[in-house]
Structure 1
Amino acid sequence: MAAETTFDIIIAGGGTAGCALASRLKAGNNSLSIAIIERGSDDHANPLVMHAHGRPQLEGIGLDTPYSSAPQKHMDGRIIKLHAGNLLSGSSAANAGFWMRPDRKDLDAWAEHLGGEEGSERWTYKSLLPHLKRIESHWDRESSGEAHGFEGPFKTRTSPGLPLRDPVHDGLASLGFEDNLDNSNGDPFGTGRHCDAFTPLRQPAASRYDLSGVTIILNATIHKVLLEKMGGEDVRATGVELVDGRKLFASKEVVLSCGAYRTPQLLMLSGLGPKEELSRHGIEVVVDSPHVGKNFFDHSGIFIPWKLDSTAAEAGLALGHPKYMANQTFLEAFPIDWMTIGALDPDGLKEQLQKDSRSSTIPSTHPLLAHRAHYWLAATYYAGGSIIGEDMPDIPMDGNYITLNTVNFLPTSRGSVTLSSSNPLDHPVCDPNYYATHHDRHVLREGLRQILRLAQSKPLQPYLLATGQIAPTNFPPLSLDSTDDALDARVRKSAITIHHGMGGASMGKVVDARMRVKGVKGLRVCDTSVFPAPVSATPMAVVYALGESCAEMLVREYA
């Protein structure tokens, strides 16, 4: 550990947002002394990290931490693993690497959640666009410079054209999805090319952002934020205390970037949170902040494995087949060609929202009744592992199977992050409360029906075995004749998390428009826990933009 014990700014957490924030802040004001405190190690160059296919093995070597969810009341009491990276670079070194931007309406809704608070316009799509452009070197150099950047630290790429590319595309087209030549310009609807951030090696945050001049303290778990009462009701963050008792001080700010699972926990361990929750664990209440740990949510989805027709399987169309494995270009690509984003019919959706609100007067201006990116639909050219849910037969990675999948992008179910104890080494209790609303059940049912239509589409029929749908033990295969109850039962048994924990320290509730924790001076939050509402995308690009935006604010404040 460095000899210094006092810095201008301490960033708690060296993950996706933390690395972006530290790098841009140092570049913007070199005179600032900045420290990143990371509970994990610096293993971002580990071959299992750098190669996408090593991702499932990261848990076994301690670089990917599974947080067991609370038993999910609306998913038959299942306990679901919620994964997060446990190393410098955070989940950018452990995720699937998808590079997506959400529907612009999702980000505009963030500003609306702030209710006109000063600075709320910073979170509109228009305001975040310069940061989204700054971070990318977009794969298509012919794309509009108004929408994309070409000199950023993260190079994106698309599929090289895998063997099932055309049949899957034509199957999606037969369902009515139009081509979207640029699905990452704030208008993601229709079928666009899958895009990720591999080159083909992974690009973890710490490898792409310049952290020279930043003090990085590794293998250091924070116990709590040090808070000083200034007289009256004023409270100031002055640093952090580690679990081994060491104290590090910040003369200007502490920024929490520990992620949606750990940041709410650290706030509560520090005495910032709901009075009842803190008192239950014997923690002194410094600021009674009732919304800490609330408004926690996650993307969930369902993945249906399908066996290929024997003739198609012999052609080497899926990951695991010797012919597929012999093609180095295929091996270096994520096994997916297309990402399709769909909106639901507002009439059916309105009925579900009425059930959830117990009102018959849902206005037509309700934000979810607009043309929104409610779900994704995709075909992935392998099957197996944790993506297929519970009680499934073993599926060998032999090139005989693909997976059709759908994800609920705009869940209305809300859960919580609470403390399991006052010990910072214990995991928090994470309860996403999946599938709690009629809205969310409707979205995944409709997504499942789209999967079934895709499987029966004329372009895919020659490739999928008619009886090839794989179902859990004691569950019949689904069909377009399946009832809502049957679809719900399948979701409860087989739906999974996409590991996109968000909320818990939300803008407008826990932090203000400048990401400052309400009731405390010198303390901010910069990670997915500040999301006030979901985004219709894998969140990595938005998280980088979040870090860049926070850095811009701090550079201006400490100029």
Structure 2
Amino acid sequence: MGNDEVDFVVVGGGSAGCVLANRLSADGVASVRLLEAGGRDDTPFVQVPVGAVATLPRKFHNWGYQTVPQPGLGGRRGYQPRGKVLGGSSSINAMIYARGHPSDYDRWAAAGNPGWGWADVLPRFLRSEDNQVFGAPLHGRGGPLTVSALRTANPVAEAFVRAGEECGHRRNPDFNGEEQEGVGHYQVTQRDGLRCSAAKAYLDPVRGRANLSIVIDAHATRVLFEGRRAVGVEYLRGGRREAVRARREVVLSAGAFGSPQLLMLSGVGPAAEIARHGIALVHDLPGVGANLQDHPDFVFGWTSDSTELIGFEPRGVLRLFREFGRFRRERAGMLTSNFAEAGAFLKSSPDEPVPDLQLHFVVAIVADHARKLHFSLGFSCHVCVLRPRSRGSLLLASGDPMDDPLIDPAFLADPDDLERLVRGFRVTRAILEAPALAPYRKKELWSAGVTRDEDVRALLRARVDTVYHPVGSCRMGSDTAAVVDPELRVSGLEGLRVIDASVMPDLVGGNTNAPTIMIAEKGADLLLGRRAA
């Protein structure tokens, strides 16, 4: 490894890695190397919000993973897009700023993770946030991450919110406020009409720091050990094998798929799985790759005649071209859309203590993650189960670090997830059929005529997939099955931590980007020995 040595090596330039690169290098003394397998984020497909439609369906700034066949989905393979670019999935996502429910974090703490209750994590959310609409005590001002209202003023998204009210749900102006439940417009990580990814928020302001080096197109292949201590990272770049040594710690922030894969490639994980691929065992840690969770999601679709909606047909294309001028002048309008402009957090039954369903109302027809195009104007609505009981896993396909891992989210493996989603299907359809949306409805697509419970179940098994929130595969805990302890140190090893969505003990009730940034904010405190926010 020669003299290529720094204090901290961070693997993964996504939502967590960008935070860590910024915070760990802030003193101007500690040297930090950030390794990102993807490339630069300075393309219009990343910066202009509507450009995400080009990255979602294919391997463009996107790992484009597939799951193994899912028995709960009739043997189908699911699709798992994840960001492969600076900013990670925050550079290709729908920009929704949602923290989950406070009880999610208190549940983490009660399960053996002291320091991770709501009172502990809220200061980290506040520190990260620069909210353009709301302030104290539940929102931050002046943090790196700009959080704002959308600039589209789309009347169809507003009609969805009114439809929710017509169904008896309260309008909620702030899903991260005192109460999560209700229907409303999402706040987004957007600055002046452009995407505010983790790279834009945390990396751009500090790229000139002499003690921070950012290496793109660097595919980490293994963590290097001396005995039980992590001392560096090996990676491939431009066809060459390189390495960097860490004087203080190696931090894995490669996400719910990348971090457990890299641990196993490095000889850390279930002994039998590692031996199966001829990898030398460093540490038998059975929990690596276990406990994988994701929100199972179903999408409704309707055609429409409204040019307020986005679609690949002549009127929609003409409207989009006209919107370019408005975007250049005002940084507003259709090109600033995150597509999922409105939504809801609802209960599948009145007996639920907190919302167990989330809806995303989309101002376009979405089929198979935009991989199947409908040449019509229209709208869609996602509904997902927020705290599924199903637990999946991630395993190695081979000992080759360039091979995709075997991803098994075990969708609908637990019968409760399916029945909860059946109830969610009915709750969502009622909103979509409410009078406020009548001027925009034309034809219901794949769910038309599906009413009986058994037919709903069959439709769900035929169409459910991810809503892009995988977590939990390097679970945090105080028990022997945990991968990292509450300080995010890999159990049984030294000089190695995992800091990303993979450490979540279980899913939060909402989108996972803001919680991942919070985890990294707290993780930076732990690495630097700070106990308070």
Structure 2-normalised TM-score? Answer: 0.89
**Is 2:343 the counterpart of 1:339?**
yes
Q: Could you tell which deviates more after superposition, 451-460 or 87-96? A: 451-460
Amino acid in the other structure paired with 2:51 = G
Per-residue CA shift, 1:446-470, capped at 9, x if unaligned?
A: 11101221232233334323xx111
- Please give the alpha-carbon distance, in whole angstroms, between the structure 1 residues aligned to 2:174 and 2:338: 19
Residue equivalent to 1:395: 374
Q: Quote how far apart the aligned CAs of 1:284 are.
A: 1.9
- Report the Cα offset of residue 61 of structure 1: 6.3
Note closer, same or farther for the CA distance 1:451–1:343 as it changes in structure 2 (3 Å cut): closer
Residue type of the alignment partner of 2:507: P
Which residue of structure 1 lines up, in the alignment, with residue 508 of structure 2?
535
Count residues with an aligned counterpart: 503
C-alpha contact (below 8 Å) 1:387/1:496 kept by paired residues: no
- The residue identity in structure 2 corresponding to 1:404 is C
Q: Quickly say closer, same or farther: Cα 1:522–1:105, change in 2 above 3 A.
A: same
Which 10-residue stretch deviates more, 82-91 or 253-262? 82-91
Q: Name which of 335, 347, 358 aligns with 1:376.
A: 358
Letter in 1 for 2:357: Y
2:435 aligned partner: 458
Report Cα offsets for 1:238-290 as digits up to 9, x if no partner.
Answer: 11122444332111110001111111011111111111111111112221111
Distance 1:165 1:18, change over 3 A: closer
Report the counterpart of residue 20 of structure 1 in structure 2. Answer: 19
Which residues of structure 2 form unaligned runs of 5+? 327-331
| Cα distance between partner residues in 1 of 2:489 and 2:23 | 18
Alpha-carbon deviation of 1:556? 2.0
Between 1:405-414 and 1:166-175, the stretch displaced more is: 166-175
Counterparts of 2:403 and 2:110 in 1: how far apart (Å)?
36
* 1:127-146 to 2 correspondences below 5 Å: 127-140=120-133, 143-146=134-137
SS for the counterpart of 1:556 is coil
| Letter paired with 1:379 | F
Q: Show the counterpart of 1:282.
A: 278
* Structure 2 residue aligned with 1:123: 116
Letter in 1 for 2:18: C
Does the Cα contact within 8 Å between 2:396 and 2:406 map onto a contact in 1?
A: yes
Q: Deviations over 1:329-361 (max 9, x none)?
A: 4312334543210123266xxxxxxxxxxxxxx
Could you tell me which residue of structure 2 aligns to residue 350 of structure 1? none
Q: CA deviation at 1:521?
A: 0.7
Q: For the Cα contact (< 8 Å) 1:319–1:382, is it kept in 2? A: yes
Structure 1 gap segments, 5+ residues each: 115-119, 230-234, 348-368
CA distance in 1, matches of 2:453, 2:126: 42
In 1, Cα distance between equivalents of 2:66 and 2:346: 30
SS for the counterpart of 1:155 is strand
1:60 Cα deviation from its structure 2 partner = 5.0
CA distance in 1, matches of 2:492, 2:407: 25
1:517 aligns with 2:513: no
Verify: 1:494 aligned to 2:463, yes or no. Answer: yes
**Where does residue 255 of structure 1 map in the other structure?**
251
In structure 2, the CA distance between the partners of 1:49 and 1:167, relative to structure 1 (3 Å rule), is closer
Match of 2:426, SS?
A: helix
Cα distance change, pair 81–335 in 1 and its aligned pair in 2 (3 A)? closer
CA contact (8 A) 1:113 1:507 kept: no
Q: Deviations over 1:36-63 (max 9, x none)?
A: 112122x211111111222232365641
User: What does residue range 90-239 of structure 1 map to in structure 2 within 5 Å?
Assistant: 90-114=88-112, 120-140=113-133, 143-159=134-150, 160-185=152-177, 187-199=179-191, 200-209=193-202, 210-211=206-207, 212=209, 213-229=211-227, 235-239=228-232
Counterpart of 2:46 in structure 1 is: 49
Residue 555 of structure 1 deviates from its aligned partner by 1.7
Which of 427, 434, 448 aligns to 1:477? It is 448
Matched, 1:299 2:303: no
Q: Which residue of the partner structure matches residue 549 of structure 1?
A: 522
- Specify the SS of the correspondent of 1:157: strand
CA contact (8 A) 1:274 1:288 kept: yes
CA–CA distance in structure 1, aligned partners of residues 359 and 198 of structure 2: 28
Taking only aligned residues, the RMSD between alpha carbons, in angstroms, comes to 2.2
- 1:151 aligns to what SS in structure 2? coil
Percent pairwise identity: 29
Which deviations, in whole Å up to 9, do the C-alpha atoms of 1:476-527 show, x marking residues without a partner? 7244xx2222111111111121121111100011000000000101100011
CA change 1:387–1:186 in 2 (3 A) is farther
Contact 1:318–1:324 (Cα < 8 Å) also in 2: no
Query: How far apart in 1 are the matches of 2:159 and 2:182?
Result: 16
Q: Match of 2:25, SS?
A: helix
- Map Cα deviations across residues 501-559 of structure 1 (whole Å, 9 max, x no partner): 1111000110000000001011000111101100111111111111111111122279x
Residue 408 of structure 2 is aligned to residue 431 of structure 1 = yes
Q: Which moved more, 1:268-277 or 1:188-197?
A: 188-197
List per-residue Cα deviations over 1:298-348 (Å, max 9, x = no partner): 12211111123xxxx2x533124458544544312334543210123266x
Measure, in 1, the Cα distance between the counterparts of 2:178 and 2:505. 19
Query: What letter matches 1:330 in structure 2?
Result: G
Do the aligned partners of 2:157 and 2:363 also contact (CA within 8 Å) in 1?
no
1:102·1:186 contact (CA, 8 Å) conserved in 2? no
Counterpart Cα distance in 2 of 1:80 and 1:186:
35
Give the whole-Å Cα distance in 2 for the aligned partners of 1:52 and 1:298. Answer: 24
Matched residue type, 1:190:
G
- The aligned residue for residue 235 of structure 2 is 242
Aligned pair partner of 2:333 in 311, 324, 330: 330
Match of 1:412 among 389, 408, 431: 389
